[in-house]
Amino acid sequence: MSGDLSKVLVPVDGSPQAERAVKHAIEMRKLSQVRELHLLNVQPPLSGDVATFVDKPTRDDYHRDEAEKALEGARKLLKAAGAPFVEHISVGQPAPTIIAFAKKLGCGQIVMGTHGLGAALRLVLGSVAQEVVRESEAAVTVVK
């Protein structure tokens, strides 16, 4: 395990599961377990076809707009709790991006929601949470 355990990264995608992870991080903060809280929204890259015909500033605006929507619920929860936080937006594959951000920021913990995929579907699709748990050097708490 590496990183500072009092620095926590919470990946959010606007889902109820992500908001439950934010609530869990808020509770951790109340117990003085969290000194620094980071929110991360990872936007999927646009397909090559779209990227070919849409200029980079337009793609960046699109990703930023989508990330703002995804961060809105988490932002409201944290502000209501009086919990300071830092927001980050990135474009890429979710699990590797989450892992890289935790490492870059020195976060010793990642708190994330799970979408509760069934076993059969998880075998076909994989799971972001499952990959983060398997590959991250940081401690990972998965909130169902």
Give residue-wise pLDDT tens across range 20-52.
999 999 999 999 889 999 999 999 998 888 878
The domain in which residue 44 lies consists of 4-143
Query: Under a CB-based contact definition with an 8 Å cutoff, are residues 4 and 37 in contact?
Result: no
Residues 26 and 55: their CA atoms lie apart, in Å, by 39
Total count of domains within the chain: 1
Residue 2 belongs to what H/E stretch? none
Q: How many CB atoms lie within 10 A of CB 76?
A: 12
Greater confidence, 118 or 144? Answer: 144
Q: Among 76-85, 102-111, 126-135, whose mean pLDDT is lowest?
A: 126-135
**C-alpha 10, offset from chain centre:** 5
Mind listing the pLDDT tens digit for each residue in 50-97?
Answer: 878 889 999 999 999 999 999 999 999 999 999 999 999 999 999 999
Q: Give the CATH number for residue 96.
A: 3.40.50.620
State if pTM tops 0.85.
yes
